[in-house]
Amino acid sequence: MTSSLSGPIVDTIVRTAIMEDIGWGDITTEILIPEDLQGQGSLLMKADGVLAGIKIAKDVFLNVDTTLTFTILKKDGARVKKGDIISNVRGTVSSILKAERTALNFLQRLSGTATLTSRFIEALTGLQTRVTETRKTTPGLRYLEKYAVRVGGGINHRHHLGDGILIKDNHLVASQRAGLSLTQVIQKARDKAPHTLKIEVEVTTVKDAVIAAEAGADIILLDNMTFEEMRNAVQSVGGRAMLEASGGITLENARQIAETGVDLISVGALTHSAPSLDISLELEYK
Amino acid sequence: MTSSLSGPIVDTIVRTAIMEDIGWGDITTEILIPEDLQGQGSLLMKADGVLAGIKIAKDVFLNVDTTLTFTILKKDGARVKKGDIISNVRGTVSSILKAERTALNFLQRLSGTATLTSRFIEALTGLQTRVTETRKTTPGLRYLEKYAVRVGGGINHRHHLGDGILIKDNHLVASQRAGLSLTQVIQKARDKAPHTLKIEVEVTTVKDAVIAAEAGADIILLDNMTFEEMRNAVQSVGGRAMLEASGGITLENARQIAETGVDLISVGALTHSAPSLDISLELEYK
Amino acid sequence: MTSSLSGPIVDTIVRTAIMEDIGWGDITTEILIPEDLQGQGSLLMKADGVLAGIKIAKDVFLNVDTTLTFTILKKDGARVKKGDIISNVRGTVSSILKAERTALNFLQRLSGTATLTSRFIEALTGLQTRVTETRKTTPGLRYLEKYAVRVGGGINHRHHLGDGILIKDNHLVASQRAGLSLTQVIQKARDKAPHTLKIEVEVTTVKDAVIAAEAGADIILLDNMTFEEMRNAVQSVGGRAMLEASGGITLENARQIAETGVDLISVGALTHSAPSLDISLELEYK
Amino acid sequence: MTSSLSGPIVDTIVRTAIMEDIGWGDITTEILIPEDLQGQGSLLMKADGVLAGIKIAKDVFLNVDTTLTFTILKKDGARVKKGDIISNVRGTVSSILKAERTALNFLQRLSGTATLTSRFIEALTGLQTRVTETRKTTPGLRYLEKYAVRVGGGINHRHHLGDGILIKDNHLVASQRAGLSLTQVIQKARDKAPHTLKIEVEVTTVKDAVIAAEAGADIILLDNMTFEEMRNAVQSVGGRAMLEASGGITLENARQIAETGVDLISVGALTHSAPSLDISLELEYK
Amino acid sequence: MTSSLSGPIVDTIVRTAIMEDIGWGDITTEILIPEDLQGQGSLLMKADGVLAGIKIAKDVFLNVDTTLTFTILKKDGARVKKGDIISNVRGTVSSILKAERTALNFLQRLSGTATLTSRFIEALTGLQTRVTETRKTTPGLRYLEKYAVRVGGGINHRHHLGDGILIKDNHLVASQRAGLSLTQVIQKARDKAPHTLKIEVEVTTVKDAVIAAEAGADIILLDNMTFEEMRNAVQSVGGRAMLEASGGITLENARQIAETGVDLISVGALTHSAPSLDISLELEYK
Amino acid sequence: MTSSLSGPIVDTIVRTAIMEDIGWGDITTEILIPEDLQGQGSLLMKADGVLAGIKIAKDVFLNVDTTLTFTILKKDGARVKKGDIISNVRGTVSSILKAERTALNFLQRLSGTATLTSRFIEALTGLQTRVTETRKTTPGLRYLEKYAVRVGGGINHRHHLGDGILIKDNHLVASQRAGLSLTQVIQKARDKAPHTLKIEVEVTTVKDAVIAAEAGADIILLDNMTFEEMRNAVQSVGGRAMLEASGGITLENARQIAETGVDLISVGALTHSAPSLDISLELEYK
């Protein structure tokens, strides 16, 4: 699925970033570059990966100067190689220089997340298990980072605390202190939650996974289980609920976890620790 | 130096992040946690590193609920170990749970940058060379990330395009097309720039470094030079300007670069690719 | 469930409303009321109903003047009668007068929605059918209006287009033009949607309701069906999906619709046409 | 008078409403509607009334997608019938679907207010009495609602507390406690108020109405008076001030009130309790 | 009249100004002033004048640091002399230094306007003529500057284009092209304007002043008339409308203009060209 | 110098100003000017001076109505004479009238600052001394006012507290209380400040000026020195640091101060007390 990266949330993020980087004007450029000098910049890959955020880059350039022409050569989701030119931007050189850094900062970060996601997807080739992110995102950029996960082949978990029920350890402990069993907690959530939301429960034992499934949980999060426990949970739950593995998942162990039969794995590193993908802008005059 | 992390910029960033994560309310918590349940959360290190952002974490908790009590046990800059408790927060459990993720997202990211910075500083132990970041920061978080670099022992480069003159390759090429020599470009910048700003010039040869120094550049950025070239530049410039090494600097080669005698090294990875430092919140009831 | 009405969304709405009503100052009050005159205002019900928004009213008074004391006598959800005093506010009279209209505007409108919702709930006494609102809300106030629906005893539908899949007539027609059957459309949605979201489909025939249920829809919206059709749909779907009746539902026909066995009814009028509940502020000096 | 519905206030309201409804994207549409599918939507009246807000509807569609073409077929103020098509919008179907609900929410609400206002105007046919609204408006939408009142044939009362002097019961009581007579209160207001503002005073007796007129009040608000009292007030004041009837005015008693000779009647229900006017969007492909 | 300088408009202006001046932190102070150093600053008059904005100054200090104690020694409207101490602020020195410039910038500017206004008031001692400002205010600060005019003894003209009818030359010319006489223009305005607003008309001849008065204008603006013409206008209009002199009014000619008998004079210079009143902050340690 | 007056800061300032002046609509114009009336306005100089802000004026007109055509006849920096037409704006008359006042308010104020700056520059004809402004700017307009100083021929001082080290009297006193000498204070600043920033120190004696220069200060601010002291400072420092004269500088004494040999003079009046330059808009119909 390709969600168009547009709308007021994106506008606000882009404008804030431009203001942050340009401040009260690109003094160097204003002093040294003639106002009417025309040129063309090429966005050039300095590493291999999966592209994400090319429309954001375009937004940045056009926000700085609506008269620039930005041509997309590679779309989001494209597998790009070092040396590929992914877009051209033509027009006033001083505008291109003002927008460059902000555009690249978005593009490198989002492509970093898309690339890391795609590597997890590749690690699971041939399996049904899907990959999703967590809420461990960069403050202010969650919307964009979740988009990058989709571009890389992942699916999105809930966006924020208001659009999903995820009963975690702390909720269970507090409820048990009030005398509620796991089953009762799930039923209470079912009763009181909006009918449009699924109920997800975090468990640490196979026994609790089974109880949760029987109580009607839609999704069960298996927290830091061993391969053996996950296999048992898959077998015992028997398709009555979706199973999500979480905790300590790396590119190295992802496939082995997926092979236990869980439906999806959630990986915090997709958003909190993906290294940037190196991209640069090369300028030429004509 | 410790810059107090406060003021309207920080307020805006914190409020935006909270709104992004809480959305229209933490439904799970509202359903399951009694409104008046009291408890205490401990922020617990899950890895070793340098702490940064503890005041931001406090701001997040207090923004969500002004009646919480947040006790700082480890200050920014502290070297912390896995298992250390860095702060306690007491009060209404539902408020603690609502603030948890956003507070940790800031803290883990900023501590990640501070920790990586401190590793570069350690790599240069005994040398005069200083470490600085670049403009390759996270859109919207530059102010905080630069703070984290300082906490880790680094110094800050210019904040944005408006508070420093940095004449890059593209500025030089455009100026040469207009018939200006490197010396003339620097003089032009000197004439037109605010008198409070230093002039920095990017060069790729030792020869140009010398020309720049003679033309009065305050700082000279040595772009992707070999160790040998850097040593020559240091010798030839002879202290007439500050020398900054940039491009492809890693923890592995940083010391060797510093030993060429450059005054500082700038490292983009401090902000664009520092992995998060793992921290969690443990809740208990009394 | 009682969701605490707080957080940055509410703050922004309240501040905007105050600015709109006070403008550049309550000139009349500034001219005529001595700055230090103290008094007490009582919020007085002028009609019977269900109270909603008392915390918003408090927020308005405290936003205008933090030194006012606002005592809540009746909580949200209380069934109140004409003549009941629902809160007192003490302090500087000029501040009370400045805040009065804005506080009442919120309170009357939200209580209007809660009251209308509660009347639907009463009409369904003894039945399992639940009541929910639609997206036909007041621009800018959706968050508060959904809260008022909950206060009145309803449950909430999705908040916006991003947190639920609702396949409407227009989506089906467009998909069929691309050669997809109803079953294929639902499967496509299932494949591409975030795993945390339920799939809802709008149908106009019993036959399509059955197809949708078999294709795995979680919720089926029965659009403007007759009582007979709804009864058939309930029987034919047989619990495989939740059934939602929608279109032309009034206090008069709601019970008869619910008796067909549908799981919930959605009523646009709860938010788009609920009359205000009359409340006034009575001031006295001591 | 036709006030063009434009400018920064309207922009802000429209953008906020779009963000509220679209959230992080119309997931259903993005999954099911091909990005390049073109079509045409028609805005169709489902009830009779007076149209208001067609430009706002246009703004919403163009804000979501600047490439849509929105053709206005009926202008604000037009008396429309069930079945009338009031505008067409052509272009990308996914954009039309994203904007639909927000556009209709504005249009239905504003047309509801315009329609109710026009019914009051009709009730007063042949009389000089004019109709105005109160400050009992929807928080955040006052500007638009006052516009709708004008479209329906009414005139506007003051916009907020800063652009009119309205001495109410509470101001009088407080002033009398300070020893001022009604005459003195009015003179004090006259002396201290900006010279551009009119002075309005609320009275409950004919005697006070006369005193107010003699003291130079420009407008006198007759609060909840009987028909007899209003007639007496009209006669006694004898044109020395404008007379405004207020309190408990309905479509049933409006004409009788107007026939007492008052200059205008103010009706809170125009903005706080007008039911929405039903309008829908019908989509077709070409 | 003393309008309390508070509310959301003022908050926004103050916060914007602080952010503008502090930027990403007062680096000098952070480097050199120990975080816990306590002291006291005194706001000291460096010139004679009328004070305005002392509460804004307080707001600035408390916005920067809520723990400061700000004691007001001279209230707005006080006639202050060079050497007077108008307030003390105690607490953390670094906070005092951060807030100093912004607080003074507001205070000096507003006191400048109040002082100039008071000089016009003095020039008219013994006459009935009042003094008002124009819309020639500083973009963004109109609310504050109008307050300063009141503090200096003036009264306020309309705040913006939406809260007063002022028919200027350009409106008359356009209306005459459409065949309307001056009388008809005024009647049209009267018919269509909100009943709460006064009608003001700009005229350049005595004859038109009389026509305007007869047509029911509330205020007549005499644009750039000679003393003789103004005297004639006063006599001819004979109290049927308020007369406002405008254009080229200085401290030198103000009294002579007022002596023609006009009701008020409007002076653009009060807001567009009032020089700052010099005030400084003196710091001491205890 | 060519600083383009554009970007998000300017957008925000312009939009805020328009909203402030237009409020909820230009009622007079809406009542009296036919919506489709076309015309042309000319911006006409009513005084001699240096133009600044013509692009801001254009922004205001286009923000109010994107269909207006604004033709710039005189660029910023032009020396204009009373009677010069500096631009034309064609299109809908009602839009021109709505934008007029806000556009002129910016233009008159910025041209006022540019004109005053240029008079200082003229006073120093033939000398090397440059002219700069201070932080005594109008809250909210610093960015624009600094631009106007550049247009008038001045150079800019630091923008805010975060982009320059300026060690003032209060910093020195506090540091001396902690036992630091002037030399030590400067070294401390050098050690801890970002390497990109220059160090400026305020001194009141020639002796301290010499100490500061020897300690490595980049700029030395001579506060309120006599001509004799300044001459001595110039001689004693001997080019080791830039010297800035500050305090009580007027058009009368500026040349004499400059002739002492200081490098620059800073003048607060450029921004805090420059009178507006009179400009008007003349409208004609075609």
Is F168 a catalytic site residue? yes
Q: What is the pLDDT of residue A285?
A: 75
pLDDT in tens, E265-285: 999 999 999 999 999 999 987
- Determine the residue among B29, B273, B281 to mutate to test chain A binding: the one whose Cβ has the most chain A Cβ atoms within 10 Å: B273
pLDDT in tens, C156-168: 998 889 888 999 9
With cut-offs at 50, 70 and 90, classify the pLDDT of residue A278: very high
Answer yes or no: is pLDDT of A235 > 90: yes
Least CB–CB distance from D27: residue in C13, C161, C168: C161
Is C263 a catalytic site residue? no
> What's the rounded mean pLDDT across residues C94-114?
97
Residue C94 is classified by DSSP as H
Least CB–CB distance from A108: residue in B108, B175, B272: B272
Residue A226's contacts (CB-CB under 8 Å, 6 or more residues apart) are: none
Residues facing B69 on adjacent strands: B90
**Is C4 in contact with B31 (Cβ distance < 8 A)?**
no
Residue C201's contacts (CB-CB under 8 Å, 6 or more residues apart) are: C166, C167, C172, C182, C185, C186, C212, C217, C219, C220, C221
> What's the rounded mean pLDDT across residues B17-35?
89
Least CB–CB distance from F34: residue in E29, E159, E178: E178
DSSP string for D5-70:
--SHHHHHHHHHHHHHHHTT--HHHHHHS-TT-EEEEEEEESS-EE---HHHHHHHHHHH-TT-EE
Answer yes or no: is pLDDT of D286 > 70: no
Find how far residue E32's CA is from the centre of its chain. Answer: 39
Shortest CA gap A192–chain C (Å)? 6
Residues facing E55 on adjacent strands: none
**Is D8 in contact with F15 (Cβ distance < 8 A)?**
yes
Place of tokens 């060069």: B203
What average pLDDT does the structure give for chain B? 93
pLDDT in tens, E115-160: 999 999 999 999 999 999 999 999 999 999 999 999 999 999 988 8
- Write down the catalytic residue from F59, F202, F218, F244: F202
**Distance in angstroms (rounded) separating the CA atoms of residues B257 and B265:** 8
Residue E248's contacts (CB-CB under 8 Å, 6 or more residues apart) are: E224
- Write down the catalytic residue from F48, F223, F229, F278: F223
Is C198 a catalytic site residue? no
Shortest CA gap F14–chain B (Å)? 20
Q: Answer yes or no: are the C-beta atoms of F242 and F223 closer than 8 Å.
A: no
**Is D30 in contact with A159 (Cβ distance < 8 A)?**
no
| Angle in degrees, 0-180, between the axes of helices E8-22 and E142-151, rounded to the nearest 10 | 110
For chain E, state the CA radius of gyration.
Answer: 23
Is D136 a catalytic site residue? yes
Q: Answer yes or no: are the C-beta atoms of F9 and F143 closer than 8 Å.
A: yes
**Is A7 in contact with D27 (Cβ distance < 8 A)?**
no
**Is C7 in contact with B15 (Cβ distance < 8 A)?**
no
With cut-offs at 50, 70 and 90, classify the pLDDT of residue A4: low
pLDDT in tens, C107-122: 999 999 999 999 999 9
Q: Answer yes or no: are the C-beta atoms of D195 and E200 closer than 8 Å.
A: no
Q: How far, CA to CA in Å, does C260 sit from each of C162, C205, C235, C241, C247?
A: 31, 15, 9, 15, 15
- F130-132 vs D199-203, strand pairing mode: unpaired
Q: What is the pLDDT of residue D90?
A: 97
**Is C30 in contact with E143 (Cβ distance < 8 A)?**
no
Least CB–CB distance from D193: residue in C31, C143, C173: C31
How large is the ipTM?
0.93
pLDDT in tens, A252-264: 999 999 999 999 9
Q: What is the pLDDT of residue D1?
A: 35
> Which of B75-89, C146-160, D218-232, F1-15 has the least mean pLDDT?
F1-15
**Is B9 in contact with E18 (Cβ distance < 8 A)?**
no
Chains B and C: how many Cβ contacts under 8 Å?
A: 24
CA-nearest residue to D146 within chain F is F24
Query: D-chain residues within 8 Å CB-CB of C17?
Result: 139-140
Residue B89's contacts (CB-CB under 8 Å, 6 or more residues apart) are: B40, B41, B43, B61, B68, B69, B70, B71, B96
CA-nearest residue to C141 within chain B is B24
With cut-offs at 50, 70 and 90, classify the pLDDT of residue D164: confident
**Distance in angstroms (rounded) separating the CA atoms of residues E191 and D155:** 10
**Distance in angstroms (rounded) separating the CA atoms of residues A80 and A89:** 18
What end-to-end distance do the CA atoms of chain B give, in Å?
39
Please report all neighbours of F, defined by 3+ CB atom pairs within 8 A: A, B, D, E
Nearest to D60 by CA among D24, D19, D93, D26: D19
**Distance in angstroms (rounded) separating the CA atoms of residues B52 and B152:** 8
- Write down the catalytic residue from A101, A142, A231, A255: A101
Least CB–CB distance from D15: residue in A4, A8, A159: A8
pLDDT in tens, C240-286: 999 999 999 999 999 999 999 999 999 999 999 999 999 999 998 76
**Distance in angstroms (rounded) separating the CA atoms of residues E100 and E43:** 9
**Is C24 in contact with E9 (Cβ distance < 8 A)?**
yes
Please report all neighbours of B, defined by 3+ CB atom pairs within 8 A: A, C, E, F
Classified as helix, coil or strand, A197 is: strand
Nearest to B59 by CA among B182, B169, B144, B159: B144
**Is D198 in contact with E196 (Cβ distance < 8 A)?**
yes
- This prediction's pTM: 0.89
What is the CB neighbour count within 10 angstroms for residue A126? 6
What is the CB neighbour count within 10 angstroms for residue A37? 14
Q: How far, CA to CA in Å, does D66 sit from each of A262, D42, D51, D89?
A: 44, 18, 24, 12
Place of tokens 């600060």: E141
pLDDT in tens, A79-91: 999 999 999 999 9
Q: How far, CA to CA in Å, does B38 sit from each of A79, A194, B69, D35?
A: 51, 26, 12, 50
**Is E8 in contact with C30 (Cβ distance < 8 A)?**
no
Residue A160 corresponds to which amino acid? Answer: H
List the alpha helices (DSSP H) in chain F: 8-22, 27-32, 54-64, 93-123, 142-151, 169-177, 182-192, 206-214, 227-237, 254-258, 269-272
CA-nearest residue to B142 within chain A is A20
- Which residue has better confidence, F286 or C143? C143
Which phi-psi region, left, alpha or beta, contains residue B224 (left: φ > 0; alpha: ψ -120 to 50)? left
Answer yes or no: is pLDDT of F2 > 60: no
Q: Produce one character per residue of B195-224: b if its CB has 16 or more CB atoms within 10 Å, e if not.
A: bbbbbbbbbbebebbbbbbebebbbbbbbe
Q: What share of chain C is helix, strand, coil (3-state, %, to 5)?
A: 45, 20, 40
> What's the rounded mean pLDDT across residues D48-64?
96
Classified as helix, coil or strand, E92 is: strand
- Determine the residue among A13, A31, A110 to mutate to test chain B binding: the one whose Cβ has the most chain B Cβ atoms within 10 Å: A31
pLDDT in tens, E185-208: 999 999 888 888 999 999 999 999
Backbone angles phi, psi at E259, to 5 degrees: -70, -10
**Is F25 in contact with D2 (Cβ distance < 8 A)?**
no
CA angle, D167 then D168 then D169, to 5°: 135
Q: Answer yes or no: are the C-beta atoms of B43 and B85 closer than 8 Å.
A: yes
CA angle, A3 then A9 then A10, to 5°: 65
With cut-offs at 50, 70 and 90, classify the pLDDT of residue F4: low
What is the CB neighbour count within 10 angstroms for residue A280? 13
- Half-sphere CA count of E197, side-chain side, radius 13 A: 31
CA-nearest residue to C12 within chain E is E8
Is C82 a catalytic site residue? no
Share of chain B above pLDDT 90, in %: 82
Q: Where are the beta strands (DSSP E) in A110-229?
A: 130-132, 165-167, 199-203, 219-223
> What's the rounded mean pLDDT across residues D17-25?
88
pLDDT in tens, B204-249: 999 999 999 999 999 999 999 999 999 999 999 999 999 999 999 9
Token duo for residue E142: 């109109």
In terms of Cβ atoms closer than 10 Å to its own Cβ (0-12, 13-18, 19+), residue B109 is buried
**Distance in angstroms (rounded) separating the CA atoms of residues F5 and F58:** 11
Token duo for residue B101: 């993720």
- Which residue has better confidence, D159 or A59? A59
**Distance in angstroms (rounded) separating the CA atoms of residues F129 and F268:** 16
Residue E189 corresponds to which amino acid? Answer: A
CA angle, A256 then A257 then A260, to 5°: 95
DSSP string for C247-270:
SS--TTTHHHHHTTT-SEEE-THH
Query: C-chain residues within 8 Å CB-CB of E145?
Result: none
Answer yes or no: is pLDDT of F123 > 90: yes
Query: B-chain residues within 8 Å CB-CB of C1?
Result: 30-31
List the alpha helices (DSSP H) in D126-217: 142-151, 169-177, 182-192, 206-214
